[in-house]
């Protein structure tokens, strides 16, 4: 059960004003945002906020919000809890954190729907469904993550909802029937330390009102804030300036900070006011330790920017209790990106893929709706820090860029990188030389993946990307929204149909060797190799693996269509053992490798090295970073699985333990660090000896997934496999 660090008392104070800012309980003000057609009201009594709010929307297919807001100014890291109970049938309401009170402000909102559902394709929604909303750039588009399964009130969504803000990380929770908090997802949205936080209610109807009582209200202050200040607004190639990282603790914590500058930049002159610090200038990383920290401290360093267009800072911090979170405040340069108004034609290279960052494109000049179909957003998780998001969901809107196809170029293929959380809505209409239209010839569907490789038409397969045959010379590349809330980072144009998106350095356009950094060492294991069906038809590319003693990291690169159903195709590092065995590791799976959605990396016990072997697999997959438990109980039989979301870190510590024919799957909670023995599967037909080890599959033939495993531990019959058993040098 989650316990607040600090809880503020809530005083009772009645308010009848609608638009004027007047106190309402602990939330000191309330106001209409975006000038709804019907003013809203708010009052507080008996621990409940009663809000009547108008307005058309909070970010659904709109650049501005209209709603009623009960709020106060807060700083640092904190949590908001509330339980929206709808009196009227319409609207969306819940906790909100926004940078300012303008209708186009950056914001993060966790909103529950009433029985009358909002428009926007929420096909699985039902009364009580909750939807994350977030706009990461002032004046940009809002993503509304939707279609929860099964939607509505469920065993894991019974009443109160909670929104945590820790640095630039935001965590969305519901409550289960046992009174425990369930993490639904987390997002990264850059915001300054001081924000406006409270309860929001929109009618989802420009001429209507929603009436909701908000119960179980809490504001919980969390112990640590770490924020970054970048003293420039734009990216100036070759410029040097000083970045300041400030840590503030409300109580004593064992704080750790890992700062990461944009790739290709250089850092120097690292200084801290307290604590200990080490840095790696070549990698742009700084490690800052603050044990028993209970005050305020600063880290400063000089940074010189390389010759590139934009960049993101990807530093994280931890307070020893709550999940590792992204450093708050400034995180992307330029801070206010815009689409180019008149981009110069892009010369397509004949010998390597040509990368077009989405911000290098321009809006359709004769847009019939007088607004763009795509808007820019900040996303520190991508190297550029900038993506575009669908807003209108209309094929009549598009962005475009001129490209120059060289003579003799041949067939042309287009690939790209997308958010990839929904295989249906994370898609676009796209064409080269022709305006896109709403049909299966121009649809560009991710199929649920973070990388567009295929599905240009519905009957295509992953190994058959769509070819274009444009005339040589200048052509227009068009991208048009299909559904709202999908986002895209960049486009690659190439004449190589075997191109792999994960193998591309998006900053330089160079092809990355996925096997780079693999040291030819087995480490703790006996052997390694690909497990595949006869003829390797469902494996595709050969895998490779190794152990680096200097870092303690195992790197596995593997192809294969999956570890699933009746046959597996993957790369495996393994040790042959007999008896009871356990294996655990901290697993990082490159989120853009493999198919970008169902690629898997994990710890495994299997009966033999045939593709249909009995096995148990504890895994992390790329989409959602959830912990999966898989098993095939009999040889050549079907596979089964269950999953748990364990977000909060790009790497997760997982494990499994085999005792006879019973397997216990477990993970380490990112909040407490404690082991959670969460699932037991009995009846798996193991016969000694078995093979225990590390596994990676791309979930797509010929693609390569990249997994890194650290602090790998194996115990056989209660005895750990020690250093003397595996060091081979």
Model pLDDT for residues 603-638, shown as the tens digit of each residue:
999 999 999 999 999 999 875 567 889 999 999 999
Look at residue 341 and tell me if it is in a domain. no
Going by C-alpha positions, the residue among 626, 605, 365, 592 that lies closest to residue 492 is 592
24 and 158 in a common domain: yes
497 and 370 in a common domain: yes
433 and 550 in a common domain: no
Look at residue 340 and tell me if it is in a domain. no
Whether the Cβ atoms of residue 540 and residue 704 lie closer than 8 Å to each other = no
Residue 538 makes CB contacts below 8 A (sequence gap 6+) with 532, 560, 561, 567, 569, 701
> What pLDDT does 440 receive?
64
CA–CA separation, 571 and 546 (whole Å): 11
Residue 435 makes CB contacts below 8 A (sequence gap 6+) with 398, 478
CATH number of the domain at 398, please.
2.60.120.260
How far is CA 277 from each of CA 242, 289, 648, rounded to the nearest angstrom? 17, 6, 24
Q: Which residue has the tokens 């294991």?
A: 525
The conformational region for residue 11 under phi > 0 = left, psi -120 to 50 = alpha, else beta, is beta
Whether the Cβ atoms of residue 329 and residue 287 lie closer than 8 Å to each other = no
How far is CA 547 from each of CA 16, 556, 574, 577, rounded to the nearest angstrom? 67, 9, 12, 20
Whether the Cβ atoms of residue 400 and residue 431 lie closer than 8 Å to each other = no
Look at residue 508 and tell me if it is in a domain. no
The number of domains in the chain is 4
- Reading the block at residue 74, the tokens are 């807060």
Look at residue 621 and tell me if it is in a domain. yes
Look at residue 517 and tell me if it is in a domain. no
3-state SS assignment for residue 109: strand
DSSP states of 382-435: SSSSEEEEE-S--TT--EEEEEEEPTT--SBEEEEEE--S-TTTSEEEEEESS-
CA–CA separation, 565 and 600 (whole Å): 14
> What pLDDT does 429 receive?
81
CA–CA separation, 248 and 677 (whole Å): 34
Going by C-alpha positions, the residue among 106, 227, 77, 76 that lies closest to residue 164 is 77
Residue 405 makes CB contacts below 8 A (sequence gap 6+) with 348, 412, 470, 471, 472, 473, 474, 475
CATH number of the domain at 41, please.
2.60.120.200
208 and 94 in a common domain: yes
The pTM of the full predicted model, rounded to 2 decimals, is: 0.81
CA–CA separation, 43 and 17 (whole Å): 9
Look at residue 369 and tell me if it is in a domain. yes
Q: Beta strands 346-347 and 399-405: pairing type? A: parallel
666 and 600 in a common domain: yes
How many Cβ atoms are within 10 Å of 8's Cβ, its own excluded? 14
Beta strands in 551-625 (DSSP E): 553-558, 562-564, 567-577, 581-589, 600-606, 615-621
How far is CA 197 from each of CA 23, 50, 108, 193, 219, rounded to the nearest angstrom? 14, 17, 10, 12, 9
553 and 411 in a common domain: no
**What element of type H or E holds 241?**
strand 240-249
The conformational region for residue 28 under phi > 0 = left, psi -120 to 50 = alpha, else beta, is alpha
Angle at 711 between CA 705 and CA 716, to 5 degrees: 105
Whether the Cβ atoms of residue 453 and residue 462 lie closer than 8 Å to each other = yes
- Please say which residue of 333, 356, 390 terminates a domain: 333
- Please say which residue of 503, 536, 569 terminates a domain: 503
Look at residue 515 and tell me if it is in a domain. no
3-state SS assignment for residue 149: coil
Look at residue 519 and tell me if it is in a domain. no
- Please say which residue of 205, 221, 237 terminates a domain: 221
Identify the bridge partners of residue 209 per DSSP, sorted by sequence position: none
- Reading the block at residue 615, the tokens are 């096995």
215 and 228 in a common domain: no
257 and 184 in a common domain: no
Angle at 11 between CA 10 and CA 16, to 5 degrees: 115
- Reading the block at residue 495, the tokens are 């004449």
CA–CA separation, 605 and 614 (whole Å): 9
209 and 88 in a common domain: yes
54 and 25 in a common domain: yes
3-state SS assignment for residue 360: helix
677 and 538 in a common domain: yes
Low-confidence ranges of the chain (pLDDT < 70): 1-23, 119-123, 146-150, 365, 367-372, 393, 419-426, 440-441, 445-464, 500-503, 591-592, 596-597, 623-625, 645-651, 670-672, 722-729
Residue 550 makes CB contacts below 8 A (sequence gap 6+) with none
Angle at 505 between CA 504 and CA 508, to 5 degrees: 130
Q: Where are the alpha helices (DSSP H) in 182-256?
A: none
- Reading the block at residue 169, the tokens are 């990380």
Domain of residue 674: give its range.
Answer: 527-725
164 and 37 in a common domain: yes
- Reading the block at residue 276, the tokens are 């200990």
> What pLDDT does 703 receive?
81
């Amino acid at each position: 059960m989650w316990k607040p660090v600090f809880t503020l008392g809530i005083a009772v104070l009645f308010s009848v004003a609608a638009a004027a800012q007047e106190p309402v309980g602990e939330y000191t003000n309330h106001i209409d945002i975006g000038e709804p057609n019907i003013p809203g009201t708010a009052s507080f009594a008996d621990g409940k906020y009663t809000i009547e709010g108008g307005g058309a929307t909070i970010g659904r297919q709109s650049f501005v919000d209209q709603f009623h807001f009960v709020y106060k100014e807060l700083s640092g890291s904190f949590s908001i809890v509330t339980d929206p109970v709808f009196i009227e049938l319409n609207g969306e309401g819940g906790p909100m954190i926004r940078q300012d009170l303008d209708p186009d402000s950056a914001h993060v909102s966790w909103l529950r729907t009433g029985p009358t559902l909002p428009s926007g394709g929420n096909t699985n929604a039902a009364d009580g469904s909750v939807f994350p909303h977030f706009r990461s750039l002032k004046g940009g588009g809002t993503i509304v993550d939707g279609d929860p399964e099964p939607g509505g009130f469920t065993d894991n969504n019974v009443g109160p909802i909670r929104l945590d803000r820790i640095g630039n990380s935001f965590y969305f929770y519901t409550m289960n029937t046992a009174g425990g908090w369930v993490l639904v997802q987390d997002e990264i949205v850059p915001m300054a330390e001081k924000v406006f936080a409270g309860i929001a209610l929109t009618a989802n109807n420009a001429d209507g009102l929603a009436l909701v009582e908000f119960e179980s209200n809490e504001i919980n202050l969390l112990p640590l804030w770490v924020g970054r200040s970048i003293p420039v607004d734009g990216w100036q190639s070759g410029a040097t300036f000083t970045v300041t990282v400030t840590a503030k603790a409300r109580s004593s914590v064992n704080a750790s900070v890992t700062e990461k500058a944009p790739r290709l930049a250089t850092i120097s002159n690292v200084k801290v006011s307290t604590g200990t610090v080490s840095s790696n200038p070549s990698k742009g990383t700084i490690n800052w330790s603050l044990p028993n920290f209970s005050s305020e401290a600063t880290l400063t360093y000089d940074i010189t920017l390389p010759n590139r267009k934009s960049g993101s800072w990807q530093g994280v911090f931890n307070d020893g209790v709550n999940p590792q979170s992204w450093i708050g405040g400034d995180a992307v340069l330029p801070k206010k990106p815009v689409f180019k108004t008149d981009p110069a034609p892009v010369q397509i290279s004949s010998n390597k893929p040509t990368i077009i960052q989405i911000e290098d494109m321009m809006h359709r000049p004769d847009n019939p709706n007088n607004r763009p179909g795509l808007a820019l957003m900040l996303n520190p998780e991508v190297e550029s820090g900038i993506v575009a998001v669908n807003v209108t969901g209309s094929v009549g809107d598009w962005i475009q860029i001129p490209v120059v196809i060289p003579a003799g170029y041949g067939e042309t293929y287009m690939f790209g990188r997308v958010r990839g959380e929904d295989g249906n809505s994370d898609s676009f209409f796209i064409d080269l030389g022709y305006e896109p239209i709403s049909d299966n010839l121009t649809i560009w569907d991710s199929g649920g993946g973070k990388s567009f490789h295929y599905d240009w038409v519905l009957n295509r397969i992953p190994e058959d990307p769509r070819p274009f045959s444009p005339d040589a010379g200048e052509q227009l590349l068009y991208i048009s929204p299909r559904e709202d809330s999908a986002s895209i980072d960049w486009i690659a144009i190439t004449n190589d149909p075997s191109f792999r998106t994960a193998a591309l350095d998006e900053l330089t356009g160079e092809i990355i060797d996925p096997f780079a950094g693999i040291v030819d060492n087995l480490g703790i294991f006996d052997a390694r190799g690909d497990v595949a069906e006869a003829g390797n038809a469902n494996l595709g590319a050969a895998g490779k693996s190794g152990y680096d003693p200097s870092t303690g990291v195992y790197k596995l690169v593997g192809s294969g269509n999956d570890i699933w159903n009746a046959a597996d195709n993957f790369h495996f590092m393994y040790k042959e053992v007999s008896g009871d065995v356990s294996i655990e590791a901290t697993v990082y799976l490159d989120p853009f490798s493999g198919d970008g959605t169902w690629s898997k990396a994990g710890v495994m016990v299997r009966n033999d090295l045939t593709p249909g072997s009995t096995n148990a697999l504890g895994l992390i997959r790329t989409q959602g970073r959830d912990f999966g438990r898989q098993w095939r109980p009999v040889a050549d039989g079907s596979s089964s699985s269950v999953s748990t979301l364990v977000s909060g870190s790009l790497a997760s510590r997982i494990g499994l333990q085999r005792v006879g024919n019973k397997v216990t799957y477990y993970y380490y909670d990112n909040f407490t660090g404690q082991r959670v023995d969460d699932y037991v599967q009995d009846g798996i037909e193991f016969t000694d000896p078995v093979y225990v080890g590390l596994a990676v599959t791309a979930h797509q033939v010929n693609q390569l997934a990249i997994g890194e495993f650290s602090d790998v531990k194996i115990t056989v019959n209660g005895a750990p496999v020690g250093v003397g058993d595996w060091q081979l040098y």
